[in-house]
Amino acid sequence: MSYFIIDEDRSSKYVWDISGAHKWGLPGIHSCPACKATWGTDTRAYPSVDLTPVTHLANFEEPRAEPVEEYERMCSLVRPLLPPGALLQPGAAFGPFVGKAQGRFGPLVALFSWLLLVQREALEKLQAEGMLGLKGCRTELRFRQRNSPELLELELPPVGRLHPDCLPPDRKPPCPRCGRRGITLPEDMLLDAATLPSHLDLFRLEDFSTVIVCTERFVEACRRLNLDGVTFQSLPTA
């Protein structure tokens, strides 16, 4: 099986603008007691997760950094609501993507390298082709135009890792308390074949959550169905 990275098509005929954020999120960590880092990222998102049952919901609405103990306490409130296989990290996002949108959109829309939207009709076509693990979640986008599309966010489980051969040989292990790895995404990526899923045609990497990966089957289906708006770059495996 061959694999590809998905990203925005900057030469696309579609011109659009989207601004917004997910409805809820975990705080980042302020000065981890183990590694001393202050960090957080919303590149791992679970748009299907509804946090309304959580007490003190307002605590999940304001992006900020908190001591690691508070972050861990908030994680414990969220975990029972997560889908199978979900992994948390400081800044992880939940609920629908809320914001404003305008322009002409393709069937697939890479808002960021780590956030992939799809028009409902395109998703239904891909599912009819037998693509595995595609889960479209509603967004709350306000369009500044008539005849606006229905854009769904694809929920991307964190699965698969880069092969150690493409990572710095002197890298340190992840922080035992906050999980921070402190490694820059390598220019020449190499997937670790032993960690890749057989039950998904679309996923994000577990160790680099900004990277969305799809199978050759997914690429072929998109080309066969003329579903454009993104680019596919081949990723080698070892």
Which region, left, alpha or beta, applies to residue 70 given φ > 0 means left and ψ of -120 to 50 means alpha? alpha
Mean pLDDT of 76-103: 97
Residue 195 has pLDDT above 90, yes or no: yes
Mean pLDDT of 128-139: 98
* Separation between Cα atoms, residue 21 and residue 98, nearest integer Å: 6
Place of tokens 């990572």: 167
Residue 143 has pLDDT above 90, yes or no: yes
Mean pLDDT of 6-19: 90
Name which of 27, 35, 26 is nearest 178 in CA terms: 35
* Separation between Cα atoms, residue 53 and residue 40, nearest integer Å: 24
The answer to whether the predicted template modeling score (pTM) of the entire model surpasses 0.75 is: yes
**69: burial class by Cβ within 10 Å (0-12, 13-18, 19+)?**
exposed
- Mean pLDDT across the chain: 96
- Whether the Cβ atoms of residue 1 and residue 213 lie closer than 8 Å to each other: no
Residue 92, SS3? coil
pLDDT band at 145 (very low <50, low <70, confident <90, very high): confident
Residue 147 has pLDDT above 90, yes or no: no
pLDDT at 146: 85
